[in-house]
Structure 1
Amino acid sequence: MRQKKSTLGEHLALLSVKYSVYPNEVFQALVVAKQTEKTASCGNLTVEYRGKMKGETIFLITKDNDVVAQFRVEEAFLHRKDNPFESWMSTDKIKKKIAKQNTDSVYTHIKDLRAGMKRVNLKAHVQEIPKPAQVHTQFGNTVMVVNAIVGDETGKIKLCLWEGQIGQINVGDNIELKNGQVCIFRGEKQLRLGKNGLLTVLESAQEIKPIATVR
């Protein structure tokens, strides 16, 4: 039974990468479609409730009226308080899929980041991770979010992390971010992982020289 869940989660994580949809949006669309017994949208995908069978809910995912996937989901899966897709986004299979979509690793310095930039690759040092805060989403649930401070030799910026992303890094880590995006929140630039972002802790500090703590 546990293996079945992992297979489903990994499959849906692959869909989120392929169709550039946030994993959290996929999960919430499943929940909304189940609650309303109708359809829910997530990015360019439509999730449709198709009924129940043997204690499982059947969903149909389409894009522009073309069938993308149909599958069953156990009730316990939909009632989870956390986002079950976050952990599957970190599996080797998903990382390889994302890496394949980002073969050109041109790194950007923090000082050169501009609002609206997408597919940003950079290497930085984790300087600070405040206490996570709870925020309410448009779907009516609460999630944990934290704005970590990361820096390189040219500057520093807030890195917005959600749910399972929060535990991926620690203060003092040297990190590599691929396929990120820069946005403005409350008048301040922020770096986010984006729909297909990949965050990796580098084993050696030598990989991102020079690193400087920006104050």
Structure 2
Amino acid sequence: MAIKDLQIRQGKVDITVEVVEVSEAREFEKFGRRGRVASAKVKDSTGEITLTLWNDQVDTVKAGQTIKITNGYVSEFQGDPQLTTGKFGKLEIIEGETKEAEESGEPLYMNKDAEEEKKKIEEDFSEEPVFDEENIEEE
């Protein structure tokens, strides 16, 4: 997939891009939870797009890296398309890895918390229902 082919509200985006620049992160609070967000300009041979970085991604994505987005989503902000991993996407640094990854010698997979949360949700839904007729007490 190429940047020029991305459409607003498009999901299941798998794309490899180069990070051109990363803005300074800002903190926010939503629904009682704190988080951090930053924007990155990314490019491929067909164009550029803004990539939204969330929480741990803010600290690990740097200009000059090549990253792969799997199962991403294209949203819209002020009329412009923006690429994001969303809740179920994954961001992987494939070139120009961070210092932490270089020291460990292992690839750094982004959005680990989201990946673990997704697995927990899938496991929860694969179990027997908690509320069946045998588990409900009558008053």
Q: 1:165 to 1:154 in 2, by over 3 A?
A: same
Matched, 1:190 2:89: no
Relative contact order, higher structure (CA 8 A, sep 6+): 2
TM-score (normalizing by structure 1): 0.43
Residue identity (%): 35
Q: Where does residue 117 of structure 1 map in the other structure?
A: 10
- Quick one: distance in 1 between partners of 2:45 and 2:16? 10
- Quick one: distance in 2 between partners of 1:131 and 1:184? 20
Given candidates 52, 56, 66, the residue that maps to 1:160 is 52
Q: Where does residue 19 of structure 2 map in the other structure?
A: 126
- Quick one: distance in 1 between partners of 2:11 and 2:39? 19
Structure 1 stretches of 4+ moved >2 Å: none
- Quick one: distance in 1 between partners of 2:4 and 2:36? 28
Identify, as 1 or 2, the structure richer in helix.
1
Unaligned runs of 5+ in 1: 1-107, 205-215
- Quick one: distance in 2 between partners of 1:112 and 1:127? 19
- Quick one: distance in 1 between partners of 2:61 and 2:7? 24
Unaligned runs of 5+ in 2: 97-139
- Superposed CA RMSD: 1.4
Deviations 1:192-214 (A, max 9, x none): 1022111111138xxxxxxxxxx
Q: Which runs of structure 2 are paired with 1:1-215 in the superposition (5 Å)?
A: 108-137=1-30, 139-203=31-95
SS of 2:51's partner is strand
The aligned length equals 96
Q: Report the alpha carbon displacement of residue 171 of structure 1 after superposing the two structures with TM.
A: 0.6
SS of 2:95's partner is coil
Q: Report the alpha carbon displacement of residue 121 of structure 1 after superposing the two structures with TM.
A: 0.3
SS of 2:86's partner is coil
